[in-house]
Structure 1
Amino acid sequence: MTTRPLWAGRSLALLGILLVALSLRTPVAALSPILDQVGRDIPLDTVVLGVIGSAPPLAFAASGLLAPLVARRLGLERALMAALGAMVLGHLGRTLAPESLVLTFASMVALLGAGFGNVLLPPVVRRYFPDRVGLVTALYATLLSVSTGIPALLAVPIADSAGWRTSLAVWVLVAAIAAVPWIPYLRRPEPVAASPTETVATGPIELGAVAMEDAQAAATEAAVEHPGAPRGPRLGVRMLRSPTAWSIGVIFGSSSLAAYAAFAWLPKLLTEHAGMDDAAAGALLALYALMGFPAGLLVPVITARFPRSSAPLALLGMACFVVGYLGLLFAPAAAPVVWVASAGLGPLLFPLALVLINLRSASPASTVALSGFVQTVGYLLGATGPFIVGILHDATGGWTVPLVFLLATVVLILPASAILARGRSVDSEL
């Protein structure tokens, strides 16, 4: 396939993808740092705090089911605009919330919008950048990390100087700006799509041939490209039969489970199990998050350039988790920086899964369906992490059993890696 200059005829699409990526984590990261300040004006009981805390992975999992349906009905660009609109409304609702019920409902709306964006970005990348999937995925995966860190850094200073409502209102503007580059695409009678021959070259995986031979996938693709057209069998349901789809879902889910468990419990584990103070534990949580930055840049590019690298990279992520967890289990105070940094490299599985959604699907329709399936499976697994770790800690009064549980979940990566090593696309398995 001919590689075009990155900006050639698609500069607005690239800008739109990057701005959407910058907005997708703001519903998660902008509220939690200032919950104490919000609670001074709006009573937030334990139930409300629990719902808000567990809402992100649950909303993202629900989005994995709903976003492909909306994309079939509206088309990718309009569905993405709807997602951004939901984020704008959700941020605005949180800003103006008079009481906890409105705050909780508005948070769910914003999170569902972000979840839709999570699902829709991979097929949007495939549509506009079939020749640069690895590079563009690397760019937006890196910006996802940035969009997690910036709200967390700015939320408290803005709230201290201008109030918590102003702190939340900032992100209304960010989501609104992200929608602007997509406005011209809404006026087109048909969304821009790559031709069947313009698929990503992936070595042994002949995605273009699979797309041409899979008539049912082509029928569903037509439904995405032409909203309202008759549809073939639901690809989302058919993904249940695909070992490759399940393997990518497990890779994504293992990363999500570890990350949500770490953000919920790592500081407490370090203070109780490694004897660190609160400030040092918080700094190591920031280190954990920052370790995903280089992975977001490098993993998608490596995977797209070397298709056979996906299984070794998955095993590398597994090894990083194992080293980190074993260190925290047996010698937590000896080198906590090393253990946390190693565990923080484990979520290289997240950008790996994102790029595999494109590389292991043959058409825009199957990419949408695979993205929805993977993120539903992944975020459902992710939602279990904080709960199970918390239950095990409360039941045992220590951190040995929770760490053993986290080690056990990492074992799931082994069979998933073996399936990925076959080099198949989901279309060939449906």
Structure 2
Amino acid sequence: MAVLLWLAGMYLRIPVLVAPPLAPFIGEELALSQALTGALTTLPILMLAIGSMPGSLAIARIGPRNTLALAMVVMVIGSAGRGLVPDTLTLMLASSVMGLGVAMMQPALPALLPRWLEPHHLALGTAIYMNGMLMGEFIGAGITLPVLMPLLDNSWRATLLAWSLPALLVAAALYLPRRDLEKPAGPGAWLPDWRNPLTLRIGLLLGLSGSMFFGLNAYMGNLLEQQGQFDKLADALFWYNIAQVFASLIMLKMARSWVGRRSVIIVTASLSIAGTLGAITLTGWWSIASATLMSLTAGVLLILLVALPPLVARKGETGRLSAGTFLVGYTLAFSVPMLGGLIADATGDARHAILTIIAYSALVLPLAFTLDLKRKKDQLES
């Protein structure tokens, strides 16, 4: 089961993050504008927010395992379909379908954990699939161009197919484990429970983690160019992205000790803000080191927050709570950096994009002090 969780987690990110290295080749063949080339990455991120509700509905109707398998098939149809498209319109449609599938996978994985794992293993289960997800970020972005594409005659279409189709095997393998510790109680509520304060609070804090990571990643080139060190971009992005892998490895070791502890969430969120601030106030390698620190702590924070719904939700509520937090979190992870970019365009200063993200993060940081992370009674008894 650990292997299946890891592989499913890997496919939360590989389909999204193979787009940036392949974007120049896709853009050249299909004559994409810069905005449409960027949309190959940003559109799926937006779909991560929009698609969380269909995922929650599916969990309530057909259960988390069936939802996860269905979502992976939808993801494969969209992701592989990108390699078969004849024009820009179908490319964007396929990217949207792929993003929808990934978005439905997100709440299905935490909802599946109580079915497969004992309560005291929930934190470790989250760390395992999140390790797969963050490894997927590095694998998709790191080996597509130097390793996989040359093996496939430098075809971006064949590369997309090669990354996508193996997920069908993972979807089928999800039915191998017969263990089901929590029997389904029938269709229930699936819309986010906005009366539950954790829905909004965890979602806003997810927005803190996501907007800082995606935002600084997006504006790293502009920031380094403004600082006169654009030649360090490749090294900066390498360390920035591999820091997320180290974050997931740390959490594999520390999940049982750290997950569910409000103090750890406060510390990692504060360090993430400090690292982002250092990235725009320091220069040279100190700036890059500060950005890398932010990526590391934001990765740990992400896992800490994603692990909360299966830990604190009542029976049958995990998917609903997860979907609500992902809806809020990824909407902000898309919109806050976008707002920062608009402000930076207006002022001509790339630092203003990052300052916008820091301002949002500082505003929501106090929410971390108000999190009620007590395990629900019926969760402990399951």
Could you tell me the TM-score, scaled by structure 1's length?
0.80
Instruction: Quote how far apart the aligned CAs of 1:413 are.
Output: 4.2
- State how far apart, in whole Å, the 2-side matches of 1:401 and 1:64 are: 30
Q: Structure 1 residues 302, 334: closer, same or farther in 2, change over 3 A? A: closer
The CA distance in 1 between the partners of 2:35 and 2:228, in whole Å, is: 30
Return the match for 1:112 from 97, 100, 111: 100
**What is aligned with 2:220?**
266
* SS of aligned partner of 2:74: helix
The one of 21, 31, 35 aligned to 2:23: 35
Amino acid of the structure 2 residue aligned with 1:357: P
- The answer (yes or no) to whether the contact 2:124–2:255 under 8 Å persists in 1 is no
- Amino acid in structure 1 at the alignment position of 2:156: W
- For 1:12-411, what aligned pairs fall within 5 Å after superposition? 13-130=1-118, 131-157=120-146, 158-160=148-150, 161-184=153-176, 192-194=180-182, 222-224=185-187, 231=188, 234-237=189-192, 239-272=193-226, 274-278=227-231, 280-299=232-251, 302=254, 304-305=256-257, 309=261, 311-333=262-284, 335-347=286-298, 348-363=300-315, 365-411=316-362
The Cα shift of 1:192 comes to 2.1
Change in Cα spacing, 1:319 to 1:94, as seen in structure 2 (3 Å) is same
Shift of 1:24: 1.8
Cα deviations across residues 35-86 of structure 1 (Å, max 9, x unaligned)? 1112232221245324323212211111211101011222222111111111
Q: What's the offset of the Cα at 1:423?
A: 3.3
Contact 1:134–1:300 (Cα < 8 Å) also in 2? no
Task: Check whether the contact 2:17–2:41 (CA below 8 A) recurs between aligned residues.
Answer: no
SS at match of 1:223: coil
Offset of residue 184 of structure 1: 4.2
Measured in 2, the distance between the counterparts of 1:306 and 1:48 equals: 41
- In structure 1, how many angstroms separate the alpha carbons of the residues matched to 2:248 and 2:361? 20
Shift of the 154–306 alpha-carbon distance from structure 1 to 2, 3 Å rule, reads closer
Does the CA-based 8 Å contact 1:251-1:314 persist in structure 2?
A: no
Q: Does the C-alpha gap of structure 1 residues 236 and 57 become closer, same or farther in structure 2, counting only changes over 3 Å?
A: same
Q: Which has the larger radius of gyration?
A: 1
SS in structure 2 of the partner of residue 194 of structure 1:
coil
Query: SS in structure 2 opposite 1:44?
Result: coil
Structure 1 alignment gaps of length 5 or more: 1-12, 196-220, 225-230
CA distance in 2, matches of 1:85, 1:116: 11
The letter for the 2-side match of 1:266 is M
Q: Deviations over 1:186-233 (max 9, x none)?
A: xx8xx82337xxxxxxxxxxxxxxxxxxxxxxxxx6125xxxxxx4xx
Residues 244, 419 of structure 1: 8 Å contact kept: no
Relative to structure 1, is the Cα distance of residues 425 and 293 closer, same or farther in structure 2, using a 3 angstrom cutoff? farther
CA 1:321–1:426 in 2, change beyond 3 Å: closer, same or farther? Answer: farther
Change (3 A) 1:43 1:307: closer
- How far the C-alpha of 1:121 sits from its partner, in A, is 0.6
What amino acid maps onto 1:241 in structure 2?
R
In 2: Cα distance, 1:255 partner to 1:306 partner: 17
Scaled by the length of structure 2, the TM-score of the pair is 0.90
The count of corresponding residues between Structure 1 and Structure 2 is 374
Please list the CA deviations of residues 94-134 of structure 1 after superposition, one character each: whole Å capped at 9, or x if unmatched.
Answer: 11111111111111111111111112111112210133112
- Return the alpha-carbon distance in structure 2 between the equivalents of residues 65 and 427 of structure 1: 25
Question: What RMSD in Å do the two structures reach over aligned CA positions?
Answer: 2.4
Moved more, 374-383 or 16-25: 16-25
Q: Report the 3-state secondary structure (helix = DSSP H, G, I; strand = E; otherwise coil) of the residue aligned with 2:354.
A: helix
Question: Structure 2: which amino acid aligns with 1:361?
Answer: A
Cα deviation for residue 25 of structure 1 reads 1.0
Runs of 4+ in 1 over 6 A off after TM superposition: none
The one-letter amino acid of 1:32's match is P
Q: CA separation in 1, counterparts of 2:354 and 2:365? A: 18
- On the 8 A contact 1:62/1:376 being kept in 2, the answer is yes
Instruction: Assess, with a 3 A threshold, how the Cα gap between structure 1 residues 235 and 286 changes in structure 2: closer, same or farther.
Output: same
What letter corresponds to residue 389 of structure 1 in structure 2?
A: G
In structure 1, how many angstroms separate the alpha carbons of the residues matched to 2:87 and 2:238? 31
Moved more, 382-391 or 315-324: 315-324
Whole-angstrom CA distance in 2 between matches of 1:426 and 1:256: 31
Q: 1:153 to 1:422 in 2, by over 3 A?
A: closer
CA deviation after TM superposition for structure 1 residue 379, in Å: 0.3
Residues 170, 417 of structure 1: alpha-carbon distance in 2 compared, 3 angstrom cutoff? same
Q: Counterparts of 2:165 and 2:28 in 1: how far apart (Å)?
A: 25
The aligned counterpart of 2:371 is 420
**CA–CA distance in structure 1, aligned partners of residues 357 and 239 of structure 2:** 19
- In terms of mean alpha carbon deviation, does 117-126 or 46-55 score higher? 46-55
Q: Distance in 1 between matches of 2:27 and 2:281?
A: 39
Structure 1 position 303, deviation (Å):
5.2
